[in-house]
Structure 1
Amino acid sequence: MIHLLLPFALAAVLAGSGVYGVLARRNAVLMLVGVELILASASLILVTMSTTLPDDAAAGQILTIFVITLAAAEVTLALGIILAAFRLRGHIDLTERLDDDAAHAPVDDRTDGRVTS
């Protein structure tokens, strides 16, 4: 049987890498990879604990499959949003202010409500 320190150490490394990826990166796709690393570390802890505790229902492994399913749905939705933002803005840099795009928007300078560019 494997010692419990090894999976927990690996989960800590995965979580640390994920947190670094979320905090240090400006690219939305790389931030999404960081979030997925954090979810993988949580899943590793769930599987490790479910194998060590006497549980006939295997709740940790079932919950891990549920987490993987939710992560797949999250990636699909997030990549769709990122792709739409890339098509709209031309980049996916999340640190740029959203007000910069509003400065280049068409201005309503007439009193009748029509928009001109």
Structure 2
Amino acid sequence: MITLYHFLIVGALLFTMGMYAVITRKNAIQVLIGVELMLNASILNMVAFGKFDKIHNTGQLFALFIIVLAAASVAVGLVIILNFYNRAKTIDPNKANTLRG
């Protein structure tokens, strides 16, 4: 039987992989993918807590809210990355100081 502990382990692994991607990558698209992995880990945990809560369905409602926010953040993030690429001709986040003055 799959318990809450199993869901939390998978969520922790997803979050760890996302954090590793955000910290180590030099490509803005890969950093954005890492952020999405971390958001998916939080969604998994919310749904798991909602599944094991017999009284309220708040976990699913929070998960739906996070999915909507994640979709909006990806759209905004991609626009920012494309504008940065048009100006700097690179998607390396370490070169972001080239946008100054």
| TM-score, L = length of structure 2 | 0.92
Gaps of 5+ in 1: 106-117
The aligned residue for residue 113 of structure 1 is none
Structure label with greater radius of gyration: 1
The correspondence of residues 1-117 of structure 1 with structure 2, limited to 5 A, is 1-56=1-56, 58-96=57-95, 98-99=97-98
CA distance in structure 1 between the partners assigned to 2:95 and 2:79 by the alignment: 20
Q: Secondary structure at the match of 1:33?
A: helix
Q: Secondary structure at the match of 1:98?
A: helix
Q: CA deviation at 1:50?
A: 0.7
By relative contact order (CA 8 Å, sep 6+), the higher-ranking structure is 2
Gaps of 5+ in 2: none
| TM-score, L = length of structure 1 | 0.80
CA distance in structure 1 between the partners assigned to 2:86 and 2:41 by the alignment: 32
**Partner amino acid for 1:79?**
L
After superposing on structure 2, the runs of 4+ consecutive aligned residues of structure 1 that deviate more than 2 Å are: none
Q: Secondary structure at the match of 1:96?
A: helix
